Amino acid sequence: MLFGSEQNPKGPGWRRLRKVEKDLSGTRVHFLAPPMRLPVHGRRGLEEQADSFDLDSPDIYIPYAPWDPDNPEKDIPGDPKTYSAKIWLSGWNFTGRPILDGDSIGDLVLKLDVLEARNLPVNASLFRRGDLKDLAQSFFVNESYLGSYHRGRSDSYDPHDLTDFLGLNREQWPDNLGPINSQWLDRNGSEWLYFEVQPLWGGSDKFYWMSPIGHQRCLLALFMVTRDLFNAGNPYRRAMRSPLTNYRQLMENIMETITVELSEAAREEQRTVHNPEGEYPLLHCSEQLVKEAKHTLYMWSAKGYREKGKDPRGDHRAPKEAVAAFIDERIQPRPLPGNLAIGPAYLKNSEINTAPDNSGQDSLTIEK
C-alpha cells in the first residue's frame, strides 16, 4: 500500500521485523514486532524499559487501577490489590492521505505489563483459569477503572424531557462497554484470556490479553487504538469513518509470534494446579449494560461532530437505530486464530444470577 486513507489506514509493514525479548526472573517472553513508527501522540517512555526484571523487587511495581486511588492499600472486599510492572511500551503510527490527513490518523500502542495480585483468596492461583478470569472481571467491578461511569444528561432536543429542570438528573452512564468478544486462545503453547472494551464517550478502543506466569502473577498485553480524525469527536463517528481492521491485524500479527517460556519455579507452581479438561470460564457483559451502552453512545454521537448542511445549533446525533445496530454488530463473537473457547455476545438479565461462575458450561468450544 503506497498511501492510506481513513477507511484503509496505513500502518507499519510486516517485512522488517525485530525480536523483542524480556527476562522476567527466569521466565522468558519474546515476540516479533515492526520498528516503532512515530508519531505516537500523548505517549512518553516508549521503548525505554529494561530487558530483564527481578519480579521479586518491590521497586518495579506501582498500583494498577486501585479501587481507592487515594488509598491503594485500603482493605476493600473483592479488591485483589493488583500491582503492575511495565516491561515494554511501544507504538505504531497509521497514516492516511498525504497532506490532506496530516501526519497521523491514528495509532496502535502496546503496553506489556506484569500484574501481581497480592490479595487473592486462599489457595487461589492465576494458573487456574477461573481465578485468572476473576482477576480480569475485577477490572469491570472497579469504578475507578473499566467499571467507571459518568453523569448523564437530559435530552436537550426533547421538549418533554424535564430531567435537568426538575433536578432529577442523577443517572449514571457507563464509560465503557465490556467485556466483549471474550475467549481463550492458544499462542505457541501458552493459554491467553482475551477480551475487548468499546469506549462510549471518549478514550481508546482496548484489547486485553492475559496469561499466567505464577500463582499471583500474569502477563497483560494491552493494545490501545486511538483514531485522530477531523470532525469525529466521539467513538461512534470514529468507528463509522475509520474501521479497526488494520489495527487489529497488526495486533494479531504480533501476538501470533509471542512465546512465553516459564522459569523452573513458575513451572513447578503450574504443576500444582489442575484445570479440568474443556473448562474455560469466560467473561460476559450483561443485557442491561448493552442497553445502557446503546443509549450512552447515541446521546454522545454529536460530540465533536457537525453534519454538513445542518443548522450548527441543531441536533447532530446519529439515528438511534444506526447506533443500536453498530453495538449489536460490535458485540458479536469473533473467534481469533488458536481459539479454545468463546462466549455469547452477552448474558441475558435472567441468566446473570444463574450462569455458572467457573464451569464454562455456557461457552462455545470450537471444534478443530
Per-residue pLDDT tens digits for 155-178 = 666 655 544 444 444 578 999 999
SS3 track for 291-360 = HHHHHHHHHCCCCCCCCCCCCCCCCCCCCHHHHHHHHHHHCCCCCCCCEEEECCCCECHHHCCCCCCCCC
DSSP assignment of 171-197, as one string?
-EEESEEEEEEEEEEEETTEEEEEEEE
Q: How is residue 44 written as a grid cell?
A: 512518553
| pLDDT of the residue at 282 | 97
pLDDT-derived band at 107, boundaries 50, 70, 90 = very high
| pLDDT of the residue at 163 | 46
Q: What digits encode the pLDDT tens for the residues 310-350?
A: 888 888 999 999 999 999 999 999 999 999 999 999 998 77
93 vs 11, 75, 203, CA distance in Å?
A: 6, 41, 17
Q: What angle do CA 364, 247, 286 make, to 5 degrees?
A: 40
CA distance 185 to 248: 16
Tally the C-alpha atoms within 13 A of residue 44's C-alpha that lie toward its C-beta: 0
Section 217-237 average pLDDT: 95
pTM over 0.85? The answer is yes
Q: What percent of the chain has pLDDT over 90?
A: 76
The full set of domain ranges for the chain reads 18-351
| pLDDT of the residue at 366 | 37
pLDDT-derived band at 363, boundaries 50, 70, 90 = very low
Contacts of 270 (CB under 8 A, 6+ apart): 127, 212, 262
Q: Is the pLDDT of residue 217 over 50?
A: yes
